[in-house]
Amino acid sequence: MMNTSRCILFGAAAFLLFVFSAVYVFSDGEESKYKLLRESMVKNQIEARGVKNELVLHAMRTVKRHLFVPAKSREYAYRDSALPIAENQTISQPYIVALMTELLQPKPEHSILEIGTGSGYQAAVLAEICENVYTIEIVEPLAKQAKSLLTSLWYQTIQFKTGDGYQGWEEHAPFDGIMVTAAPKQIPQPLVEQLKEGGRMVIPVGDQNQTLMLLTKKDGVLHKKEIIPVRFVPMTGETLKK
């Protein structure tokens, strides 16, 4: 009798051990597959197009983009394209995320404001580099989802706000950098005012035809440079009334 129950116990333990190792090996396999895809994304899509900033390349190699896209498109997460996320919004193409981050010239001690949290991916890339990241999202379900994902991934330095990013985030201004990931027709004036002297803003501007712009503030004067044509979702809220 004793032997039979010992046998059952042993069998059950062996079975559980088998199941746990299979799950471990399988999930680890998935993770190493994504790591390889991430490395190839950085090499072939980002470095190949001229992004050189080591902090940016490291962040792009680190952030698990597949966790920020809907489960059904997970295997496409490292493709050279934007992807749809919830609420008819998009997560930007990896190269555009890297380019915009590089244009900001982020430093570890910087305080950065992002408008348009979306999936939270760009905020995570910024948080890999900068001490203080503030991000604002106007669509509440997206804001909630991004906050819960980024919190679960231990991005503890990101601060979240649900609301219209047009007004920026006065309490935490001025910012070393401002990154806007939805396109307004005109540059929102409150954002210009919340940019530090010497600070940089990266923003897509326009309607049908949008241009990625780099704005720098020097001696209180805003200098504008056109970078490349882009296509972002439109910025909503206050900017539509202007």
Compare residues 91 and 133 and give the one whose CB is closer to ligand SAH: 91
Q: Is 166 in the site for ligand SAH (CB under 6 A)?
A: yes
173 is an interface residue for ligand SAH by CB under 6 A: no
CB of 221 to ligand SAH, least distance (A): 26
- Using CB under 6 A, which of 129, 139, 201, 203 touches ligand SAH? 139
Which residue among 92, 111, 148, 152 is the active-site one? Answer: 92
Six-digit token string for 149: 């994902």
Max Cα distance, the chain (Å): 88
Active site residue 92: yes
Taking contact as CB under 6 A, which single stretch among the options 7-15, 48-56, 162-170, 220-228 is the one that binds ligand SAH? 162-170
Kindly indicate which of the ranges 50-58, 87-95, 150-158, 210-218 contains the residues binding ligand SAH, using the contact rule CB under 6 A: 87-95
Can you give the length of the chain in residues? Answer: 242
CB of 219 to ligand SAH, least distance (A): 29
Asked whether position 177 contacts ligand SAH by CB under 6 A, the answer is no
Could you give the string, one character per residue 103-122, with x where binding to ligand SAH holds by CB under 6 A and - elsewhere? ------------xx-xx-xx
Q: Find out whether 204 and 188 touch, Cβ atoms under 8 Å.
A: no
Cα–Cα dist 89/87, whole Å:
6
> How many C-beta neighbours within 10 Å does residue 206 have?
18
Site size for ligand SAH (CB under 6 A): 24
Classify residue 167 by its DSSP letter.
Answer: G
When asked if residue 210 is in the footprint of ligand SAH (CB under 6 A), the reply is: no
122: left (phi over 0), alpha (psi -120 to 50) or beta: alpha
Number of neighbours of residue 238 by Cβ within 10 angstroms? 15
What one-character DSSP code corresponds to residue 183?
B
- Does the protein bind ligand SAH through residue 45 (CB under 6 A)? no
Q: Which residue in 172, 173, 190, 237 binds ligand SAH (CB under 6 A)? A: 237
Query: How far apart are the C-alpha atoms of 163 and 57, rounded to whole Å?
Result: 31
125 in Cβ contact with 106 (< 8 Å):
no
* Binders in 179-198 for ligand SAH, by CB under 6 A: 181-182
- Cβ(204)–Cβ(212) under 8 Å? yes
- Asked if the bond preceding 174 is cis, omega within 30° of 0, the reply is yes
**Residue 235 makes contact with ligand SAH by CB under 6 A:** yes
Q: Catalytic site residues?
A: 92
Contact set with ligand SAH (CB under 6 A): 89-92, 115-116, 118-119, 121-122, 136-139, 142, 164-166, 181-182, 233, 235-237
